[in-house]
Amino acid sequence: MTSGHTVTVFGAYGHTGRFVVAELLRRGFTPVLSGRDAARLGALAAEYEGLAAEHGRPAAEHGGLDVRPASVDDPATLDRALDGADAVVNCAGPFATTAAPVIDAALRAGIPYVDVAAEIEANLDTFAHFADRAKAAGTVVVPAMAFFGGLGDLLVTAAMGDWEAADEVHVAYGLSGWHPTAGTLAAGTVSRERRDGRRVVFANGRVEYRDDAAPTLDWAFPEPMGTRPVIGEFSMADIVTVPSHLAVPEVRTYMAVEAARELASPDTPAPTAVDESGRSAQTFLVDVLVRSGGEERRAVASGRDIYAVSAPLAVEAVRHLLTGRAATTGVASAGAAFDAPAFLRDLAPHVTCVLPG
């Protein structure tokens, strides 16, 4: 499918950014490569020359891909990076530093903005600082359009169905392992500094910070994973995205103990590619449980490589935005911006979902 749309990818040469560029090419978009390091951008463009040609990108100096270096400290370079683009995907963390300047540039350009931020405080900042401006501009800003934040929100929204409110939401992450990227580690450092080492939860209808240790419990994942020990209240971006549009006073997220230990260990290596696409062997299962009164509803998603799967999530969001399928304007999470069940179906074959009904 040829879209004819141009999409700037800021942070294109990062681990997730590379997956996003490749996914855009496969979908018929024209990616513009942007970020601070001109040499790394040029190398990426040359590396993707074959893929660009395969998908009909015209021959050019950099293998058919436009390279536009830019810095969040220089608005003029961001404006050049977004000039003529139909949308922008921000893949450059820490998003506490990059989100606001790139959103500002997107609003100046009058184009939709999507990012893959997993940082809780950065996402809170986006909702707090840009909701009115984005709505006034008549455009859409979608933060956390990735594995953490976006996928969970879509699953919760689909599970809610016709419920207007729920008593509690639980999102359990069954990861086979977690080899973090350099970007994940850098973002984690920034988040810990902003929290003064405290942990964060969404309870009693608000974000709260706590000094106690997170509990450990068993979670009954669907087969074949089965019951596994998890760290309770291992909060991810879902505690921002879900309550941003759903009436739920309690949102709790859980992480498989093995994955949490790997994330915390200084000896854990970065993800290792096991196929030509660059995906790792890591698998995931996301189990969502929504309770209202005495009723429960579940939704489940499974797939491979939490970083790679963020690419189809972000690119599918861009496709929906540019084909007039956004349900709102302003700052909106995935579940608020899109028809959740339809969006999840469109993620196949990257994500396999089991939804209520």
The whole-model pTM stands at: 0.95
State the number of CA atoms in the 13 A half-sphere of 356 facing the CB. Answer: 20
Lookup: tokens for 189: 């450092």
Domain ranges of the chain: 6-146+311-337, 147-306
Q: How many CB atoms lie within 10 A of CB 322?
A: 18
- How does pLDDT run across 122-177, given as a tens digit for each residue? 999 999 999 999 999 999 999 999 999 999 999 999 999 999 999 999 999 999 99
Q: Please tell me the predicted confidence (pLDDT) of residue 3.
A: 64
- Strands 206-210 and 295-304 turn out to be unpaired
CATH 3.40.50.720 fits 6-146+311-337, yes or no: yes
Rounded to whole angstroms, the Cα distance separating 15 from 309 reads: 12
Q: Please tell me the predicted confidence (pLDDT) of residue 60.
A: 43
Two domains, one topology: 6-146+311-337 and 147-306: no
CATH topology of domain 147-306: Dihydrodipicolinate Reductase; domain 2 (3.30.360)
Q: Please tell me the predicted confidence (pLDDT) of residue 62.
A: 41
Cis peptide before 349 (omega within 30 of 0): yes
**Residue carrying the six token digits 């990012």:** 115
Q: Please tell me the predicted confidence (pLDDT) of residue 63.
A: 46
Rounded to whole angstroms, the Cα distance separating 163 from 6 reads: 38
8 Å CB contact between 90 and 10: yes
Strands (DSSP E) found in 119-186: 140-142, 168-175
3 state DSSP class of 324: coil
Nearest CA-CA partner of 26 in 64, 58, 55, 66 = 55
Q: Report residue 235 CA to chain centroid gap.
A: 15
Q: Which residues of the chain have pLDDT under 50?
A: 1-2, 59-63
Q: Please tell me the predicted confidence (pLDDT) of residue 56.
A: 57
Sheet holding 113-115, edge to edge: 66-69, 30-35, 6-10, 87-90, 113-115, 140-142, 330-331
